[in-house]
A and B are shown apart, each in its own frame.
Chain A
Amino acid sequence: MSERAAIVAVGQTKYHPNRADASEEELAYEAVKQVLEATGLALSDFDAAVSCSQDFWDGRTISNMNIQHVVGAHLSDEDKVCEDGINAIYAGMARILSGHHELVIVVAHTKESQAEKSLIENAAFDPALLRQLGLDFVSAAAMQARRYMYKYGITPEQCAKVVVKNRGNAKKNPFAQAPLDITVEDVLSSKILSSPIRLLDAKPISDGACAMIITTEDRAKKLTKKPVWILGTSNCYETHYLGDRDLAECEALGKAARKAYSMAGIRNPMKEIDVAEISEEYSYQELMWMEGLGFCGKGEAGKLIDSGVTGMGGKLPVNPSGGVISGNPICVAGMARVAEAVLQLRGEAGDHQVKNARVALAHGITGACAQHHGVMILGR
């Protein structure tokens, strides 16, 4: 039974607004192929696969039926997690730590371009009351942004700075979908989607896939010179009804983070974590999640972005990849954060490499106003 689980290879497609040239399984295989080539493993070597996709987004029931042959699941074990992909890694890790499996492949894939985002998200709300309001995740996020900005005095300019930073970082990431040279003014003058969220405050529609291999300590050392260890991880649910939550607070994130930190032996996250990849589908979220993750006190994340702490040259670079806001599909987004953290720890992030990254944090979200948070601490 392995004491710890390692990630030994990661693969990502280039994220794209519309991969009309590829089916879901072709997209998934683009990422899978990379991890097979990196390790010399064949699909038949895996004890199990854990995939991540959503029937609603794929427009078909049992969406994982589609990708069995590209994840080695023919006459083998597979399960599909229906939260963000970071949770598929968690499930893969449980299999490794259980001692029942030694080699697990995890894959997340979504083609957002083929679905109607607003309709799907509306189906997550109570059919009798909230669906009738036309609520979707952008309008829900707008309420959260308003509440957060009001409660803690966060300004639209501070949110816009997150976009300028992340879209700028994306210029150096070959997988990023939408790098942009923009200013705070550009963000603040882009069209309103749902006030106060503007077009450039939100992630674009995206297609793509991400894959990785998780294994035991022994196998990891044989498969790669640079294994990345999962030092700590957890996830947590908020309650559902938006009116039951103070949307300016993210207690589920705090709980998940504290558990992950305690597993990893981290007492002072700002001091001990070198780089963070945080799921910000909307600009305000990066600030809010920084607070939830304990990188600063409540309401203080605005100052962090103002002072440049989270920039590439700062004390804690956040989203050097460009983040979710530069384009990642649902399900894939959180797994891509882990993939980017792994690249940073292996020193393989190329032009967006953070110097001497030894401990990294990755974070994924699922649901309206991020009802579900997953946090993972990774180390060299």
Chain B
Amino acid sequence: MPNRVAIVGIGQTYHTSKRPDVNYAEMTREAVMAALADAQLSIKDIEATFMASMETFEAIYLPDHEMAAEAGFFGKPGLKVGTGGTSGASVVAEGFYFVASGLYDVALIIGSEKQDCGDTTAAITAAATPMWGKGATTGAIGEFAKQALSYMKTSGAKEEHAAMVRLKADRNACRNPYAHLKLGLKSVEEVLKSPYLVWPLRLLDFCPQSCGACALIFASEKRAKKISKKPVWLVDIETVHQEVFKAGVFGDPTGKETYAQHVACERLYKRNGITNPRKSIDMAEIYEPSNWEEMNLYEHFHFCGKGEGWKLIEKGVTEIEGEFPVNPSGGVIATNPIGATPTIRVAEAALQIRGDAGEHQVTKDVKTAMASALGGPNWTVLSLLKRSL
């Protein structure tokens, strides 16, 4: 049996467009200090430090090196990973495997991005294959416009449904002290007045660029129970990548594509004896770059049948007070510091399990939660969290 892994410390910065008051290292340190305070540990108790960020978004080479002193790398083992949008979950996976292996008992996990240092969309445009991909790329916006269009055509969802998802996200974000966009949106009409970025995707339909960091402290079973009264168990993790020419597969008008999301959740559910995720899992924090993608992900993760994602939002199932809350934090459409975004999903899911989410704590009791990440050519990482083993 692998060693069990618990989350015993959770910290994040507030998230916003620009942080001229701090540099990248100082900003990351805010999250690290918050996680240490939450766990009531000092940096001396940390055995190894793992970080996620995308170098090209800040145009800083080896950012973990630059912040070695401030963010808790100095004198310790560790490494940085980078897998695009999924980075902040890939680092959760590294922490999970390193603690499960018995190599470390207490590890610090950091996701951080300071997008006011660089130009993320320009960097993402440079992700495509130079010979035949670059001319056709517009960063993430174009991909999610295709996804929105494809979802609209195949599911029968209307723009009004996407607007309802956006309203839910904003209502939730307004209750989350750390969220970036808190717009106080009042009506579907207000969302539908927002200008198009790439048709049919509107400005309000898509995630912002945020600065922010999130830190987690992982501990092995024997240490976890001593450190925390409310350890949250990271019971399983599943990563599914796909090859680069699937870069366009965010929407599927053919209905024949294999989605990384399907493969990932089917593997995760099978290993953990989950036959009906809506019953076995109490809530989810998912990585939805757009409101359209949120409805699509409901279907991909089998929270509902195919073509029924928009019905969940229509019925209020995924609201904070609903039967299956999704993104009570306000989600990615409200807050998106890319390297930290998936780490925040795990952090928020863990807060819900602890009952420590404050104003955005969901109504139902959360014993089991799932967090997802999305990046690269539709790569997926899923984490399953539980209150008790």
* A interface residues, Cβ below 8 angstroms from B: 1, 48, 54-56, 59-62, 64-66, 68-69, 73-83, 87, 90-91, 93-101, 120-121, 123-127, 234-241, 244, 251-252, 255-256, 259, 366-368, 371-372
Contact = CB atoms under 8 A, between A and B. Distances in A.
A61 B133 CA distance: 13
Contacts of B64: 82, 237
A66 B94 contact: no
A91 B54 CA distance: 19
Interface in B1-56: 1-3, 49, 54-56
B261 to A, nearest CB: 11
A-B pairs with the 3 shortest C-beta distances?
Answer: A97-B101, A98-B100, A62-B84
Contacts of B65: 124, 237, 240, 366-368, 371-372
Given A62-B375, A123-B61, A367-B65, A55 B82 contact: yes
Contacts of B76: 236-237
B260 interface: yes
A82 B80 contact: yes
Contact of A60 (B57, B80, B126, B242): B126
Contacts of A99: 1-2, 100-101
B80 A75 contact: no
A90 B48 CA distance: 13
Given A54-B55, A82-B55, A95-B97, A61 B124 contact: yes
B274 interface: no
B208 interface: no
Contacts of B258: 75
23 contacts: A54-B61, A60-B130, A61-B56, A61-B127, A65-B244, A66-B244, A75-B240, A75-B260, A76-B241, A78-B241, A80-B82, A82-B81, A82-B82, A98-B96, A99-B1, A99-B100, A127-B117, A237-B65, A239-B74, A252-B75, A255-B75, A366-B65, A371-B62
B317 interface: no
Size class of the B contact interface (CB-based, 8 Å) = 35 or more
B68 interface: yes
A115 to B, nearest CB: 11
B93 interface: yes
Nearest to B98: A94
Contact of B66 (A87, A126, A252): A126
A161 B169 CA distance: 65
A77 B54 CA distance: 19
Looking at chain A's contact residues, is the secondary structure mostly helix, strand, loop, or mixed? mixed
A151 to B, nearest CB: 21
B77 interface: yes
B4 to A, nearest CB: 11
A69 B244 contact: yes
A335 to B, nearest CB: 13
Contacts of B55: 54-56, 82
B149 interface: no
Contacts of B127: 60-62, 65
A344 to B, nearest CB: 25
A100 B78 contact: no
Contacts of B1: 1, 99
A46 to B, nearest CB: 12
A218 to B, nearest CB: 16
A371 B74 CA distance: 9
A64 to B, nearest CB: 6
Contacts of B376: 62, 64-65
Contact of A367 (B62, B128, B375): B62
B102 interface: yes
A80 B97 CA distance: 14
Interface string B369-383: 000000111000000
Contacts of B203: none
B281 interface: no
- Of A76, A81, A240, A367, which is in contact with the most chain B CB atoms at under 10 Å from its CB? A240
A251 B80 CA distance: 20
B75 A82 contact: no
Nearest to B67: A240
A62 B83 contact: yes
A123 B118 CA distance: 12
A48 B2 contact: no
Contact of A81 (B2, B61, B79, B242): B79
Contacts of A74: 241-243
Given A55-B82, A62-B84, A372-B65, A76 B240 contact: yes
A80 B68 contact: no
B129 interface: yes
B24 to A, nearest CB: 9
A207 B340 CA distance: 32
B142 to A, nearest CB: 15
A146 B93 CA distance: 41
Contacts of A78: 83, 239, 241
Interface in B345-389: 375-377
B69 interface: yes
Interface string B97-122: 11011110000000000000100000
Given A65-B127, A100-B100, A238 B68 contact: yes
B244 to A, nearest CB: 5
A236 B72 CA distance: 12
Interface string B324-355: 00000000000000000000000000000000
